Structure 1
């Protein structure tokens, strides 16, 4: 595995490649969820590139940019053992310049759900993903379904900008107790972890109701609110795959989304129906 820090150096290396390139962009503190993306990339491509970059532009003032987990040496070892060919680890100075041309999130779909209380968050997400895709020029890029709105917006950016890359959505990976894997799980105390499990439990309750024939969104949300009484709920929404609110669940075209704070840590989870 070759570690590359300079964007232009990586571009020079990869432009010489004639083989298919899979790309997994991450912010590091790698866990089994990231590994599932890396394994899929290794399986479907001849070369796999992983990036580790904690992107400052997607954090709002007061969020956890400074304390976001950074485990660079461990991450290097994980990538090497997983069969990654190139690990891209740029600095902020390598990636961002003063007075940049900006990529902006759409005015509606970028400011609902995750974007409602975090205005500008998706501007930063799309800015960095656009840069990384242009640096790597992958055949395929892999993103987790846990960040459902992010995935949707990246797919729209690729479509709107006519970018030559296949975006591959990957299923959520969970801990043995059902908690969706996240680099932020390390923040949790034992008691907080028990409360964080309520997110996945609320989604299980919703899934069970749907399996029993319930399609009314308000009834499903009511039951989820009951499960989540002990956490600080930010939103529970049921949308179609275009992120439009719906009144009735449509199998194959619905996503149930939940966001909540447990202690000082904010979590999201979802269920694709």
Structure 2
């Protein structure tokens, strides 16, 4: 396994890879967990070469404290990636990565301004900036993203389409802890009691969507989920939305034979958690 830290090195390494070899890419911010590793393992299975980037991107943090507190454990990340048979780790620094690069602007059709975008202004532009830059350097054939960040996945698909990049964007299933809590690097900052309570988020979503019927109003179900979550100690719902999976447009009423995503964000004391589930009516 090769560890690369500079732009010049990744450009040279990319040139050395034979043209007939397929490259899979997994961009991360480190603090890796089994969710990340599942993406790497899928890439290893589907490609000849797997490249993983580790870069805590300042541009996608609208909260300076959140950036400062974001967990970092590069030594452990390297161990996990070696075990997963990653070929190249790319760990650039901020100045090098963004030198002579102003960012990438594209029409995201407003989906960067809703849900996560409403509460984290500028976040998705930061995501687009870094992912476009990494795609340009790595030039992968396939790139893998977890569905936990469902809105981010939709935005990256749209950005890739707009830019006409020859990259297949692959969304991978959410990996959960035994309790049902969606795996996240931020879970490391939860106390044992907070983690236990946070695991109720997923259970509450499942409970209130088990018997949905066509014609039901989505806001009635959302209200029940919010009330139950907000009654759990430490938890406070920021938003809940039922939306169309491709366009992310909010759905007001359930219709028969329809695929829907239920997405939410919940604060557990000072830690912000997101989750979503796929539904079919």
Same fold (TM over 0.5): yes
Contact 2:23 2:48 in 1 (8 A): yes
Structure 2 partner of 1:248: 253
| Deviation at residue 252 of structure 1 after TM alignment | 5.2
Structure 2 partner of 1:227: 228
Matched, 1:117 2:123: no
Contact 2:52 2:90 in 1 (8 A): yes
Which region of structure 1 is more displaced relative to structure 2, 226-235 or 145-154? 226-235
Match runs of 1:37-186 below 5 Å: 37-97=39-99, 100-103=102-105, 106=108, 108-186=110-188
Contact 2:263 2:275 in 1 (8 A): yes
| Deviation at residue 213 of structure 1 after TM alignment | 6.8
Match runs of 1:20-35 below 5 Å: 20-35=22-37
| Deviation at residue 121 of structure 1 after TM alignment | 0.5
3-state secondary structure, aligned to 2:259: coil
| Deviation at residue 98 of structure 1 after TM alignment | 6.8
Contact 2:146 2:174 in 1 (8 A): yes
CA distance in 2, matches of 1:204, 1:102: 38
Structure 2 unaligned residues grouped into runs of 5+: none
| Deviation at residue 153 of structure 1 after TM alignment | 0.4
| Deviation at residue 205 of structure 1 after TM alignment | 1.4
CA distance in 1, matches of 2:275, 2:107: 21
CA distance in 2, matches of 1:98, 1:57: 15
3-state secondary structure, aligned to 1:143: strand
1:152-187 deviations in Å (ceiling 9; x for gaps): 000000001101100000000000010000000011
Structure 1 partner of 2:268: 262
CA distance in 2, matches of 1:213, 1:99: 49
Contact 2:104 2:132 in 1 (8 A): no
| Deviation at residue 117 of structure 1 after TM alignment | 1.4
| Deviation at residue 99 of structure 1 after TM alignment | 7.5
| Deviation at residue 136 of structure 1 after TM alignment | 0.6
| Deviation at residue 225 of structure 1 after TM alignment | 1.7
Contact 2:108 2:158 in 1 (8 A): no
1:215-267 deviations in Å (ceiling 9; x for gaps): 53123212212321232110010000111011233555310011010010000
CA distance in 1, matches of 2:254, 2:11: 45
CA separation of 1:52/1:99 partners in 2, compared to 1, >3 Å: closer, same or farther?
closer
3-state secondary structure, aligned to 1:41: helix
Structure 1 unaligned residues grouped into runs of 5+: none
1:50-80 deviations in Å (ceiling 9; x for gaps): 0100000000134411111110011111111
